[in-house]
Structure 1
């Protein structure tokens, strides 16, 4: 009788242990949290953006080629460079808008200083907002209509001699649809 009681006790303890294990250990997926839908949230996952190139002529006749991620949707334009901890020289983000109008940007949740280059539909640089201060809500605009805005590391324009009035060319942008 004693032997049966020990076996029954051991079996009961084993069953209790299995019943108390986490759901994933029993083959059930863990409870997942809903996906983050706020594009400005740090843990929002933006799909990879298309890549392209922007060529800018400087004040001395030189040409500077910038590899860019292209923000052509409302979500990608809203997200922009938020939460990035660095932006290498020669890299940037190009914002494509459906129409030419006065554009305004802020630095909400942007952790690095940026130069913002405002480009009109005729591919002329109509103004620059240099060294925008991170994590500020101050609107940055040049007060002139533009259809495209290029963001590059803060101080880049001054370091390479790119100034208002420069001509701009895009490479690999024409096939990217602009979503209003």
Structure 2
């Protein structure tokens, strides 16, 4: 009788332990928890998740005196400038990405991991269009430049600049950019 009583107590103790583990959110099994994946730090990787970029607007005058306002995400850090438009599958009309650099210099852009054609508009420190690369071909490692110094670069959907009449020399204005810190 004592043996069956002990056995009953042991079984009861095991059952209570399993219930307690379950109540604490742990499984009463012996399988270890799945390892936690470290965050992706390669900004060019498809599954990289970066911080939300600041928003602003760029106004460009066309060759006929009209003004076109583009809502932009602002890439003002090394990582956000490197990431750019990589892995995006669409780019709506009236949207863009504005790259801010600490100083005016010869800028070159590639289309690595960029899946859609873009117009790349190079803008001088005194806010004039230095030149435009139209309909840059996706997924290309070819460096694109306009052969003139620029401090800012605006990417918009491919063919947009020609469609609205923005050309070399067109004046540019920024709205909401002055408070954004530019990292080297």
Q: TM bucket by the smaller chain? A: 0.7 to 0.9
Equivalent of 1:107 in 105, 111, 118: 111
Residue equivalent to 2:39: 35
Taking the TM superposition and a 5 Å limit, the aligned residue runs for 1:40-79 are 40-79=44-83
Q: What TM-score does the superposition give when structure 1 sets the normalisation length? A: 0.86
- Write out per-residue CA displacement over residues 117-166 of structure 1, whole angstroms, 9 at most, x where no aligned residue: 00000000010000000000111000100000000000001111111110
Partner residue, 1:170: 174
Q: Which residue of 2 aligns with 1:153?
A: 157
Q: Post-superposition shift, 1:31?
A: 1.9
String of CA shifts for 1:45-72, please: whole Å, max 9, x gaps: 0100000000000000000000000000
- Once residues 95 and 136 of structure 2 are traced to their aligned partners in structure 1, the CA distance between those partners, rounded to angstroms, is 17
- Structure 1, unmatched stretches of 5+, are none
- State how far apart, in whole Å, the 2-side matches of 1:162 and 1:62 are: 9
Tell me, what secondary structure is at the counterpart of 2:80?
A: helix
Aligned to 1:119: 123
Structure 2 Cα separation of the partners of residues 31 and 25 of structure 1: 15
Root-mean-square deviation (Å): 2.5
Q: Does residue 26 of the first structure (1) align with residue 30 of the second (2)?
A: no
| Cα distance between partner residues in 1 of 2:169 and 2:59 | 14
| Unpaired stretches in structure 2, ≥5 consecutive residues | none
How far apart are residue 29 of structure 1 and its match?
6.2
2:89 is aligned to: 85
Give the CA deviation at 1:26.
2.3
Structure (1 or 2) with the larger CA radius of gyration: 2
4+ residue segments displaced more than 6 Å: none
